[in-house]
Structure formats: C-alpha cells, structure tokens
Amino acid sequence: MVCSNMVMINFRDPEGKVVATDARSGLTLMEAALNAGVEGIEAACGGACSCATCHVYVDPSWTDELPGPSDLETDMLEIVNDRRPNSRLSCQIKIAAGLQGLEVAVPATQDVDG
Ligand code: FES
C-alpha cells in the first residue's frame, strides 16, 4: 500500500551508493537522511541552521522545484567546503508531495571553515 504522505527521496552517499527512502511529508531532508542511515550527514546543530554540516547537492533538475534558501541558509552556505551552485543545507528543505523522486548527493566531507 502506498501512503500518500510518503515521498520517495534518493540520497547518493559519498561512496556513490544510492539510498532510496520513503520519507514523511513535513520532515526535513536532513531528518529523512538520518532516519534512513545515509552516510555523511552530520547535522551537528540538530537542524537549527547554525552548523552547515548537513550540506547536500540537489540534483540540478530539481533546483527549480525547491523554495530558495533563506538569507540565513545562504550565509551558512558560505562556510561549507566545496560549495557549488546547487549546494543546500538539508535541514532547511521540507519534504512535500511535489518532491517525489528528489535526488540529492552528500558531499565527501562536511568540513566547514571557521
Ligand atoms: S543541521 Fe546544522 S545547519 Fe543543518
């Protein structure tokens, strides 16, 4: 049975292994990754947008489907190593029905500057 508030998310871990997980709408991508045991997400601040160790790369085909980052998230992204145009903080992205099949990749490290 398919539960309508579950959304399939594909996480690609730093080793390239894809973990497909059904995540509940309303959770954040960070919470879904931790629940699914995805390697490489630290989330040291627990989702308060103050550590930047939940960095992910959103597949470019999905960037327009997501609400843009807040000013706080944009500021925090400045301290991540290997920031790219599709970098986001996974604790700031809420899972919603429109994200069915979303693909995100976890960077090789969650090292931050400063
Ligand atoms: S968990 Fe700390 S910024 Fe996302």
Spatial CA neighbour of 33 closest among 16, 49, 55: 55
Predicted TM-score of the model (pTM): 0.94
Q: Is the CB of 45 under 6 A from ligand 1?
A: yes
The alpha carbon of 2 and the centre of ligand 1 are apart by a number of angstroms equal to 30
- Which CATH number is 88's domain given? 3.10.20.30
Whether 111 is covered by a domain: the verdict is no
Region 83-98: mean pLDDT is 96
pLDDT > 90: percent of the chain: 90
Instruction: Give the atom of ligand 1 at the shortest distance from the alpha carbon of 49.
Output: 3
Whether 114 is covered by a domain: the verdict is no
Predicted pLDDT of residue 114: 64
Number of domains in the chain: 1
